[in-house]
Structure 1
């Protein structure tokens, strides 16, 4: 068992090296040798854990996604034992925005992967399902809000979820480029949620 934990830690060490290189200069020209040097391991050990360059990029992305999901769960857990649906949806949408250093670094890595998403079928497959999965999650939360009286029944949950997710994702680049402040992005999300959560039980 301890041996497996060591393997996981080593894979994460290498993945974090990929992330650092991605945020500094993108991924188009990154080599296995550069990643090995950044991670402080031999190229042979890197290939043992991940194989080819493409497999390394895919593996590092999968670890990043797992890490993001875990951090999101931790932040949502801090909302308390029985948060209202408004707070839960708000928390989910905030995970799509670079609101602190951890999320900013993560979204910079995602930005570096973007060109690869367009040209690499394996990476594209990982990326393509993410927005729909988020839309389905937010749709389900809004439906629960309708069932509990926190969201009006005449709201189209699926349409609103698609709009909210697309809006939050659309603000990622402008916040990363500091064209828009994190506070402005939060205010825009809150404005849209106030339009949806119009009942007195939406806290």
Structure 2
């Protein structure tokens, strides 16, 4: 392996390296360089003799010359930029952490409140449905199913079944249950009082329970 010395943008070789390249002694290589007058010294390298790369072709040993060529890239020195990460003061970090904890706690409280509201609504819905089943059964046993159907149709449309209601229908159930309670209460009134049907179709009193 031959060593190169780059000086002021030029490539130079030491006598010893050229002697190894041409397989001759240092003494003989020194004489050849001196004869060709291609040797030079470089500032900062003492008395050492160097040969510029383009002059190596002038050295002839055993009727043989060698041409050396060093190729450089357009920019042999790669430049990179370092990105310095911003240093966040400990005080600011602590404030941000404390603020984040407060926001999380506030969000947890809101979530808990919503959850409690949902649970309360669910309980009310289940209670209304259970009460509706009992009232509907009482009207069915009293052959007053047409009354229950009429109340259900009023809020859920013709043929609608309030016992198939979902929690989104809780407002309708809140209106239906009191009317069913009134209808059942009328069953307890004296039988000599006239009974006023809720609609003209009373032929379905003995129909099967549709809900």
Q: Specify which structure has the bigger relative contact order, considering alpha-carbon pairs within 8 angstroms and separated by 6 or more residues.
A: 1
- With the shorter chain as reference, the TM-score category is under 0.3
Scaled by the length of structure 1, the TM-score of the pair is: 0.20
Scaled by the length of structure 2, the TM-score of the pair is: 0.20
Larger radius of gyration: 2
